[in-house]
Every structure is written in structure tokens, then in C-alpha cells.
A and B are shown apart, each in its own frame.
Chain A
Amino acid sequence: MKLLVCISKAPDTTSKIAFTDGNTKFDENGVQYIVNPYDEWYALVRALELVEANGGTVTTITVGTAADDPTIRKALAIGANDAVRIDAEPTDAYFVAKQIAEYAKTNGYDMILTGKETINYNGAQIGGMIAEFLDQPYVSLAEKLDMNGEVATLERMVAGGSEIVEVNTPFVISAAKGMAEQRIPNMRGIMAARTKPLQVVPPVEASLLSEVVSYELPPAKSACKYIDADNMDELVELLHNEAKVI
């Protein structure tokens, strides 16, 4: 089985979010980057488990600059066999998906795994776009994934519950919580990751269909209004007359 896992970097979940250059750029000052949790904990780890059980290889792919290499090495330390980096700024989802789809088209994979979204842009776009470019089925928000030969059985989130679905390879998935447990890389993995192949590939042409022109922080919350624990009638009254939510 030949698996391709899309890896993106994201600011640590405890990062303070701020912007610079007239609110046009994310302020990276003091920000620690991690592998996007959905890519790492769920997509990558499940891919490794499948290959451990059935044989095959796990390659990671990232669209980014050399600044992404530490997060790519982290994915290799967790256990991926090798990594590919498309050498370009990831400008928008369409651009990133196009790069990955073109690479996948040339190299052929049984399955492409993405996280359900990145925790910075929350776009949930890459997997579906890759699937469309490759004309493959896309199982979004998958919480479980099992393989039996060329047939995969997945459980995924849908409105009001979950669905069990079947799909034949090749296909694309986005991985959500529940698919696997986080793996902490051990010292051997970290040492091995240093010498694992990281291939840097030039990007293909793709137009810039969307761009962020500015960012904004939410307005500061007004101070919390405290209500005495013995006076819940007052809280109900405030929710009704002031907040107008009940």
C-alpha cells in the first residue's frame, strides 16, 4: 500500500493570536509551530498503523518553504518513510491542493490522507480539492478507517450522527478525532528522521484565486456581569430582557 499524508504546520494551540503590518500578516513573534494536530494525531498515525499491519509505505507531502522542515522532520520522527516538500509559499487552498494533486498524479497513491482542517485557517478545503483534481471519491470527516485489500470501511461524521461507508482505492480522506491516538516520537525515531529522505520539488503553475487582504481580532468582551448563586431569577431575567436569547 502506498499512502500519501498531507502535513501542514500550525501555531501551537496555546499561541496568542496577533497580527502585524497593518493587520495583514500573522505575527510569528514567539509562536511555536507544531504539526497541525489533525494531520499528525489522526491522518499520519492511522496511515502508519495501516502500513504496519498490511505493509507499504507512508510518504508525507507539504507545500511550504524551508521554514517547514522542522515540522516535516517531526512527522518523519513519528514514523513516515520519506517526505516531499513542494517548495513554495502556501498561498491559498486551491494552490496547495493543485500542487499536491499534480505530485500525486505522477506518483500514484492508493490513499491520500489529510487532517479535517488546519487549526489556523479552519478551511477544510484541501482534501476535497485534491479528490476533485484526481477524480477520486472523498470521504470527509472520517473517524475510523479499516482496510481489507482494496476496500476501505470508514465511519464518518454526518448531520445528526455517523455513517459507515465503503470505498475502493484510490481515494482521499480527511481525518477527524477518533481515528488514532497521538504518538510521541522516541529518541530512535528522532535520530532516524535526520537521515530520512526529504525531497524538495519545484511547484507547478497555479493562479491565485483567493487572498487574505486583512485580519481582525474580535472586539474585546465587556466585563462579565456576576449574578449571585442564590438569585437565578435575576439571571433568567437578564437572559430574557438584556441578552434576549431566551
Chain B
Amino acid sequence: MSVIVFVESKNGKVSKASFEAVSYGSKIGEVTAVTYGEVDASSLGEFGAKKVLIHKGLNSPNDQQATKLVVAAVTETGANVVIFSQDQIGKAIAPRVSAALNAGHASGAIEVPKTDGDFIVKTNVFSGKAFAYVKLNSEKKVISLLPNSFSPEKSEGTAEISEVSYDLGTAGITVKSFKSEGEGIPLPEAELVVSAGRGLKGPENWGMVEDLAKTLGATTACSRPVADIGWRPHHEHVGQTGVAIRPNLYIAAGISGAIQHLAGVNGSKTIVVINTDSEAPFFKAADYGVVGDAFEVLPKLNEALKKFKAAQ
């Protein structure tokens, strides 16, 4: 089977989520990665791409032109499956490509499709509270892969890189400016996350959360009430109406674990809950629990981690 994977880049570097998508695609068929602008595509072969098509005339992945790029690549290669990462850019482009190709779209994929007989993709639904097996009936198929749900495999391999110059029309959207959330790994991509809630009592107490995150190399997050009252920026809000995440490790301090919060984090591989209230519902969803005051536990955990890191 011939597979197209849309590859995103930032500052010339391929995104982590795109490496996941390429590696995922290579489990389905022969991957042609499609990308744009000035990008270092040399390592895509190691993740399983056989070919890379770069459109240097496209600098930003705006929805209309990127759709035309992917559709043209599908036409040229005769690919049957198109893969996106289900991140901010993928969410803008994948549905357009699906409509343009009359292709069924499996959104929120978390496993490699079953292709013996029917083409069935396991997806995340009900904000992580359930899974749906989605059968794609159309000849062309689009899959959006949730970030952090497939571990990319690296091997020896090189991809043949060529440039394309399809006519992409014009962009309807003009980007005026970009506001950075700051350095560090964005939440949807983060493998380690340290999060805190109202139990921290005030924004001035976030230093110990940040210290722990720094020791771990983790990204910080928060519960909805904390974002709503302005203690933390709202892009840090994880939960049903905020960002849904699937890190390897989620440490939650002073968060009771309301069902709406759990919906955004229950895809985490390991959950550590720190709470003074031993009856907090979050302990039911936790792998490891510490009943104790976050003000004491977080600094102690930070010290223990520093000791561990120093001994590594």
C-alpha cells in the first residue's frame, strides 16, 4: 500500500509528532513524506520514509495551500492512505484533505490499523473515556494520529528526497504575528507533565511546581479552575475543555480529579497523584498516590529526583 504522510516542521526541524506519524505510516505501507519550506528532511528515512517530497515555495502550512499540496502528492503517487498528526496543524488540514479526496477520516487514531479484510482504526472518543473502532469504507483513507500514542521506531534507512512545484493557488488566511508560549515542549507533545490545582492556594506558590518540572525536564500544566481564575495561562489547562494530553508521566498535585479533568489526562501512561484528601477521586485513576500536603511533598520529591539524576 502506498502511504502519504504530511510532515510539519518548525524552524527547519521536523516536529516530534511528524516522526511518530512517519513511523506509524511505515507500518501500513510504503511512505512518501510530504513537506514544505526550508526543512532538514534528512532523518525522515530513519523513521521509515522511502521518499520525501518538498515544496519549497510553501513556507507556512496554511490550510488551503497545504491541502492542495497533499492532494497533488496523492494524485502523483496514487497513495490510498494519508496520515496526519492530530495536532493544531493537522486539525486544520486533515478534514479538508478528507473532503477533497472523498475519503473516510479516522480522527484520533491511537493504534496501527487492522487491514486483514476491512480497514479498521482504533480511535480515542468521549475525551479518552472510551475507544471506537472506525471502519473506513472509501478507497482513499485519511488517518489523524494522536500525538504521543505511537512510539516512533528508528532504524537505518535513507529516503530519496525530491522537490515538487505544484500550483498551490493562494492562501485565504494572512498570518500577522506569532505569540510564543515560551521555550519548552508544548503540552500536547510533552512526555513528562507536572500539573497542579487549587490545592496550591495561589499563583505565588507555583515555584515548587516549576522547580520539579525543571528537574524532570517536564512541561507544566494546571486544572481548569486555576486557569479560569487567572493563576496560570489558559494554554496550560488540561481536561475535557482544555488540552487533552497523553504523556508517559503525569504528576498532579492539589487536583481532586473531577471527571472533566480525568477526561483530558486519562490517556497518560503513569499517573502520580498528590493530595491531602485521601478520599480525592483522582486516587482511583492514579498508579501511585501520595496522601500529603503538596507544599511538603513537591519539594521532597524534587530533592529525591535531583539525587536520582545526579546518580545517573
Contact = CB atoms under 8 A, between A and B. Distances in A.
Interface of A: 11, 13-14, 17, 19, 37-38, 92-94, 97, 116, 119-129, 131-133, 136-141, 153, 156-168, 171, 174, 177-178, 207-218, 221-222, 224-230, 232-233, 235-240, 243, 245-246
B229 interface: no
Contacts, number: 273
Interface residues of B, number: 95
B224 to A, nearest CB: 9
Given A165-B173, A215-B125, A209 B104 contact: yes
Contacts of A136: 172
Contacts of A221: 284-287
Contacts of A230: 300
Nearest to B124: A122
Contact of A218 (B129, B179, B293): B129
Contact of B96 (A128, A165, A225): A128
Contacts of B94: 125, 128
Given A158-B88, A225-B287, A233-B307, A17 B126 contact: yes
Given A215-B130, A246-B192, A246-B249, A129 B288 contact: no
Contacts of B138: 207, 209-210
A172 B64 CA distance: 12
B259 A121 contact: no
Given A128-B93, A165-B176, 19 more contacts: A13-B240, A13-B260, A97-B99, A126-B95, A129-B98, A132-B97, A132-B99, A137-B64, A140-B92, A160-B180, A166-B173, A215-B132, A217-B131, A221-B286, A226-B288, A232-B301, A233-B308, A237-B308, A246-B308
5 contacts: A127-B95, A133-B99, A215-B131, A221-B287, A224-B286
B180 A161 contact: yes
B36 interface: no
A122 B125 contact: yes
A174 B107 CA distance: 16
Contacts of A227: 288-290
